[in-house]
Each structure stands twice: as C-alpha cells, then as structure tokens.
Amino acid sequence: MLAPVAAFETYLSREEGLSPATARQYRLDVLALAAWLSAERRAVQAWEQVGARELRAYLQVHQAAPARTRRVISSWKKFWRYLADVEHLDMQGGPAELKSPKLPARLPKALTTAEVSRLLTAAKNQSSPDKALRDWTLLAFLYGTGCRISEVLQLTLEAVEVDEDQVPVAIRVIGKGDKERQVYLSPTAQRALQGWLKVRRKAGAPAGPYVFTPLKGAGAGQPFPVRTIEQATRRAGERAGLRPEQSTPHKLRHSHATALVEAGRPIEEVQEVLGHASIATTQIYTRVNRNRLRAAAASLPDVLE
C-alpha cells in the first residue's frame, strides 16, 4: 500500500503546484493512515478496500483537534482522487463520506507597534554580530512585507526590483499554488533589504541566486532553513518578553495585514499583498478592525444624564 504514496507527493508538487512543505504534509497524513491500517486492519491489503468505516475508526482512535482532523480528511480526499484519476483504481467513497468538524472562529491577534519594536530590538541585541544582522533583517523584512517565511527565504536576487538609484522598491515572490505576485516594499522592508544587500556585497557575494543566505560557511549560497528562522524568532521573542505564540514569523505577517487594515487600506489591496486566493480569507482582518473600533467606541464616557 505504500507504493503510490511517494508518487502522490511528486504529483502534488509537479502537477498541482503545491509547495514542497504542503505536499510533504499530505504524504505524512497518508503514511500515518497506512501504518495504522497495517497494524490494526491487517485484512486490508489494498487502498480499494478502505472505506469510510476504516477512516472513522482511525479518527476515533486518534482524537485529533478539529483543525488537524480537517487537514487529515483533506489529505485523504486528495489521495483518493489521485488513486482514482491517476492510478485508475476503483476506490470506495471513503473520505468523501466523512464530515469535517467545524472550527471555532478565531481572530488573528496581531502584535502592537510597540511589541514589534521590542521584538526587532531583541533580535539586534545579541552577542553574535552575524546572528544579530540576520535576525533583525529577516524579522524586519517579514513585518515590512507581510510575506510568508517560505516566500522570503526563497526570494532570489533577480526578483528584487530597484529604482534608478539602485534602491530596492519591490520584490516578486512565488506564493501558494506557484503563483507569482509583486510586493512593494514598505520603508521598514526597504531599509532592511538595502542594509542586507550592502553587507552581502562587502562580504563577497556567495554563489547562488538567493537573497537571504549565510554569507560564509557550509550553507553559503543556500537559503536559511525555515526552522532556523523560526527558532531565532522564538528566542528574540523570549528576550522581548513576548509569549511563544506571539513569536513566530507568521505572527509578523498577521501584524502587517492588521496594520494595513487599520490604516484604512481597501481589503482588495490587502488580499493582493498577502497573496490570498480568496478574499474571504482576508476578510478576517476586517473583523479584527471592527472589534477594535467597537472597543474604542465603548471606551468613550456616557455624557447623557
């Protein structure tokens, strides 16, 4: 039953244009199911034999949180379609017969301007000059652009657009679904990128197309690993007195989006900046803004007698 799983991951990356991380997660979800079937449902020898009953039993045993359960069911649905359409197997309904749990409506909690400032100061104030430069630059750039961490780390030199004075003004990034979009740089992002490129040139540019790469050592020329930057963000957050859930690269993206909405930018512009395929995803930030406006109105004193 394991034979089609590796091919499934390759198909998702090449044919459907999913990011390597997303394709890998789909594969892991399917592998977990295959391992459970092998241990608990030994009579099942082929994917065509797996129906909704087996899938419900798996979910009952694992009792995952609603968000994880939804993701797992989504992974199974993609795998079932792949087996039917590409491998031409006669599949049962399986995951199509399952009902995904509803998720509670949760609004993203953005960092305040003061919290972002504390985080960036903490990133810069550390004993290693190289790490200080790397961490401050990347965190400032993440906040200043609102890009995903994967988009920033895969940014290439040729995707940086400059003006007549060779000052960076915009970047082209490849987002989800392999879609390219142009992101104009805020003053914060512009300053961070310009400073990094200057240091990069002085250090002797390492071979490779990536903007954000170690300037020396074995990793020179390759993008910084996502995990490395996530850990650096968490450590900077600890020094800044922020909670772990506040100290992630994605939190900086939320904070950028919230700042745009609070500055009065149209939701369509925010959608384009973030690279959301559906405006419904972006509209959650308008709810954040309405909540703050409601709180501001409630804080006014009642002057009526």
Which of 78, 118, 253, 256 is labelled catalytic? Answer: 253
Which of 11, 26, 143, 285 is labelled catalytic? Answer: 285
Which of 251, 254, 256, 276 is labelled catalytic? Answer: 276
Q: CA-to-CA distance for 12 and 71, rounded, in angstroms?
A: 15
88 is catalytic: no
Nearest to 285 by CA among 252, 248, 260: 260
**C-beta of residue 257 within 8 angstroms of C-beta of residue 274:** yes
Which of 176, 200, 234, 292 is labelled catalytic? Answer: 176
Nearest to 138 by CA among 40, 29, 31, 223: 223
62 is catalytic: no
The two three-digit tokens of residue 46, written as one number: 């082929």
Nearest to 115 by CA among 217, 258, 6: 258
Q: CA-to-CA distance for 15 and 201, rounded, in angstroms?
A: 38
Question: The tokens 């409601």 sit on which residue?
Answer: 294
Beta strands in the chain (DSSP E): 160-162, 168-174, 180-184
DSSP string, 149-163: HHHHHT-BGGGEEE-
Question: The tokens 């994880």 sit on which residue?
Answer: 68
109 is catalytic: no
Residue 264 region by backbone torsions, left for phi larger than 0, else alpha for psi between -120 and 50, else beta: left
200 is catalytic: no
172 is catalytic: no
By CB neighbour count within 10 A (0-12 exposed, 13-18 middle, 19+ buried), where does 142 fall? Answer: buried
Q: CA-to-CA distance for 135 and 235, rounded, in angstroms?
A: 10
Which of 78, 148, 251, 256 is labelled catalytic? Answer: 148
Which of 53, 250, 287, 294 is labelled catalytic? Answer: 250
Known catalytic residues? 148, 176, 250, 253, 276, 285
